Structure formats: C-alpha cells, structure tokens
Amino acid sequence: MTQFQHYQPTKLTFGSGEIQQIGQLVAQYGKRCLVVSELIFDAVKPAYDRIFALLANEGITVTHFDGVVPNPPTTVVELGRQVAQAAECDVVLAVGGGSSIDTAKIIAATINAEELNWSHWFATYDSPFGDIASLPAPVVPLIAVPTTSGTGSQVTQAAVITNVEQHAKLTLFHPEFFPLEAVIDPELMLTLPPRMTAMTGFDAFSHAFESFTGTRPSPFVDQLALQAMKLVVDNLPKVVADGSDIQGRCELATADTLGGISLANGGAGAPHPLGEILGSQKTNLPHGLTLAVVYPAYVQLQWRKQPERYAQVAELFGAVGSTEEKAQSLAGHLVTFLKEIGLESNLTQVGVSKQDVEALEPAFCFDLPLTSGEEMKSILHASLV
C-alpha cells in the first residue's frame, strides 16, 4: 500500500504580468518592507523600479538591502538582518535568484531574534525531514519573486548559506522557511543571459531528477519531477538560443516550480552535496555549473541501482531499446544536452585539476542513503574525464 507525506504551503501566483499585483499582495502582510536582492545592474533596473513603484502606490515603506552575493555567506545574512531590524521591517520581499531568496529566508526568520548563533543553527536545522526544532523567535512574513528559473527556492524549506568559519556551503532547513506567497512572472526572466539561463535551467532538471531517483518516492513527487524534467529537456535549448521566447520562459518557470516542490518533498541526492562542496572550494563555479560537470559521471556510475527510473528519464531525451540500454545511455544524452545549451560536462573543462579533486577528498567523509562517501569520491574523480 502506498504511503507518503506531501507538504507545500506556499501560495503561488503565476503568469506573465502578474508582478503588477505585488504592491497589493505585500500590503496584506505589512507596511514596512525589506526588499532583499543582489546589486541591481542596468538590464534589470526597470523591473526593480516597477516593483518599488507598485509598493509605494500601496503606501508601503521600502528598505532595500542589495548586498546579496552568490553563495551568500553568514556575514551577508547578518548585515541584512541588522538593516531589517533597524528599519523595524514587518514583511520581507525577496526579488532575485536562489541566493536572494535563501538570504531573505534567514533574515525573515531572525528579525525578531535577539541574536543569531550560527553554530546552533547549522547543528540544529540541518535536516529537511523528521522532527525539527522550533525557531527561536516568530518569523516575519516572506514573499518571494524569482527572477531565474532553476533554484526552486520560492517553494522549498531550504536555504543554502556559506559558513565563513568552515568555508563550506551548508543547507539550513525548516518548514517556516517556505515563503507564504510567491509571484512567478516569466516576464522577469526575459533579460536573463543565455549562460545563466542554461545553468539555472539545469539546476531545475537536477532537482527533479534527484527527487525522482531518491529515497522518498510518491505518486506526487514522481509526476511533478517527470513533468519538470520534460519541460526542461523540451524548452531549455530553445530559450538559451532565444531569450525572448516568452512561452519557453513560462515553461521553464513551471519546471522550476515543479522541481522545487518535488525537491521539498523528495529530497536531494548526491550531486547536490558534490556541487556544494565543489562550489565552496571553487567559488568561481556557480551552483548550476557544479551540477553540470558532475552529472554525467554520477549517472554513469549510479544507473544500475535504479535502471527502470533512469530509463524513464532517458526516454525524455529520445532513448530507445531495452530498459538497461536506455538507462545506460542517459549519461551520453546528458553530455549532448549540456553541449547543446552551452555548458561544460566535466571538471577538466572548467579548470579543475586532479590535484584540486584530491584536495577535496577529505570533505566526503559521510554516507548518503544511496551513495557512500567513497562512491562520491569516485564520482568526483570520474568527472575529470
């Protein structure tokens, strides 16, 4: 008999032009809003100006924290928290990619806390499932507006933060990190450059793949993940080639959201810890790219554990033959797909050497449910070729 749990509390507003509602939506939760984003560059400034105007029309006082950086460190989160406290913000609006939304999650969860003990947080909120300790203070309402299609952070309970003391990217989890609402407007993704489109799109694929081949399968996760992967396979090459393809942007935004929901309920597999450790040591490699360069080797070394599921994914790329033949072909299909969207498919192509990999080996001292620490080391070495 099938048994599973599924949780998705974030209210979604999806569609082109839906950002027009952001002022009215934020006003339902507060009047002093902290907007969290990365530094605004010229290409996206009109979108932010529009959002600020919509908030002002509703009489909302805006404090803008634009200090978010990729792989956000604890120091940046602390700074944003101090800005929010000084302005007595009662609602948080994250506008941007996963780094902005993840930073905003921790800020919203700690505005009302007297202090933020990072050692306690990383030791206590380190698991997405099971019994989770209460947060030390009431959270402030959080609304997310993603401007990329890949991280799925607008519909997850996870926040990836770099621990500056350990020089490591770590993930914090709590059900109260789910944004209360998310506005997903594909028009906001139209200015995303091709390479960033490719990297975030492959991130969405990986969320769905790891959920589909993970240890918490369910009818919901399976269907959401398969549909997310299909949308990425069918649309990402077209959108990388033509960023103005609004229909393709809609499909990728759908894939991003479906992948995020499946990740929140199915959990991540080995590629994500591999990518996070690689990214924390080689900070010039964006998250989506760290996944791309380890995925073919990971799939090639792991497909025998779940040939039926790997074969189903391979079919999305047009694979034919027996179950075993299709499953075994998936790694090759991924290499071809990554080349088509302009991404590298091994570590050597991005300048990571054998010596770099050997230096990373001590970080893989833990086992995952489907992949041991030794297997992860093997995957990393295999990713050099």
Task: Write down the pTM of the prediction.
Answer: 0.95
Digitized pLDDT (tens) for each residue of the chain, 385 residues in all = 678 899 999 999 999 999 999 999 999 999 999 999 999 988 788 889 999 999 999 999 999 999 999 889 999 999 999 999 999 999 999 999 999 999 999 999 999 998 999 999 999 999 999 888 999 999 999 999 999 999 999 999 999 999 988 878 889 999 999 999 999 999 999 989 999 999 999 999 999 999 999 999 899 999 999 999 999 999 999 999 999 999 999 999 999 999 999 999 999 999 998 988 888 766 568 899 999 999 999 999 999 999 999 999 999 999 999 999 999 999 999 999 999 999 999 999 999 999 999 988 888 888 998 999 999 999 999 999 8
Tokens representing 276 are: 């996070």
Residues 318 and 9: their CA atoms lie apart, in Å, by 35
Which residues, 6 or more positions from 101, have their beta carbon under 8 angstroms from its beta carbon? 36, 94, 144, 146, 151, 153, 154, 179
Among candidate residues 221, 205, 72, 214, the one with its CA nearest the CA of residue 150: 205
Half-sphere exposure of residue 168: CA atoms within 13 angstroms, side-chain side: 15
CA angle centred on 261, ends 324 and 369, rounded to 5°: 50
Alpha helices in the chain (DSSP H): 22-27, 45-57, 74-86, 98-110, 118-124, 194-212, 219-241, 246-266, 271-281, 287-302, 307-316, 323-340, 354-360, 373-382
